[in-house]
């Protein structure tokens, strides 16, 4: 590969990463038109991953799983691989420090606020929805993995 081609590919990769995550690599500010949040997030069932942006002062975006229960959209910390403690992930630390987030789904960007789910019944319902969507067997859960689930609520106005 020529040097100019390598430079062009590197530049393209950096440009893509600057407007969102690229596979497992985090990105920056999510680009795309801002959209009003839907009343029902069930359309997210068609999307294996969505892009979540945290840290508005210095945007940091990653690909995450999601599950919807009617008007509620949930995003979990790692359920199967990666760090076993949620706060070992930068996006989680960012969301705890500043809950303002943006989520991009099918090119549309939604302004939201990440709220960690603490109610046991809601937590179980969200976890069950995620396990069903991603075909995870609850019996195979790693007992050492701590899973947090965030509800993406309307952004504070």
CA 151 to mean position of chain CA atoms:
11
pLDDT of residue 2: 58
Instruction: Name the residue ranges covered by the structural domains of the chain.
Output: 3-154
pLDDT of residue 157: 59
pLDDT of residue 5: 60
Measured distance CA(75)–CA(65) in Å, rounded? 6
Query: H helices of 62-136, where?
Result: 90-97, 120-133
**What pLDDT digit, counting tens, does each position of 28-87 carry?**
999 999 999 999 999 999 999 999 999 999 999 999 999 999 999 999 998 888 899 999
Q: What is the pTM of this model?
A: 0.85
pLDDT of residue 6: 52
Burial label, 89 (beta-carbon count in 10 A; 0-12, 13-18, 19+): middle
Residue 77: closest CA among 100, 95, 59: 95
CATH for the 3-154 domain, from 2.30.110.10, 2.60.320.10, 3.30.930.10, 2.40.37.10: 2.30.110.10
Measured distance CA(123)–CA(112) in Å, rounded? 19
Measured distance CA(149)–CA(115) in Å, rounded? 8
Measured distance CA(107)–CA(88) in Å, rounded? 28
Angle (nearest 5°) at CA 51 between 74 and 112 = 55
Residue 78: closest CA among 22, 146, 144: 146
Measured distance CA(71)–CA(61) in Å, rounded? 23
**What pLDDT digit, counting tens, does each position of 88-128 carry?**
999 999 999 999 999 999 999 999 999 999 999 999 999 99
């Amino acid at each position: 590969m020529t040097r100019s081609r390598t430079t062009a590919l590197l530049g393209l990769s950096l440009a893509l990463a600057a407007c969102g995550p690229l596979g497992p690599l985090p990105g920056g500010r999510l680009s795309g038109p801002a959209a009003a949040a839907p009343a029902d997030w069930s359309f997210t069932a068609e999307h294996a991953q969505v892009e979540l942006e945290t840290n508005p002062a210095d945007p940091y975006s990653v690909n995450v799983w999601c599950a919807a229960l009617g008007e509620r959209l949930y995003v979990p910390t790692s359920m199967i691989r990666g760090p076993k403690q949620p706060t070992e992930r930068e996006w989680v630390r960012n969301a705890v420090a500043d809950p303002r987030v943006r989520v991009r789904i099918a090119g549309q960007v939604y302004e939201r606020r990440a709220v960690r789910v603490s109610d046991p019944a809601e937590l179980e319902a969200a976890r069950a929805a995620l396990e069903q969507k991603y075909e995870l067997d609850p019996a195979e859960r790693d007992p050492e993995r701590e899973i947090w689930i965030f509800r993406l609520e309307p952004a504070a106005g």
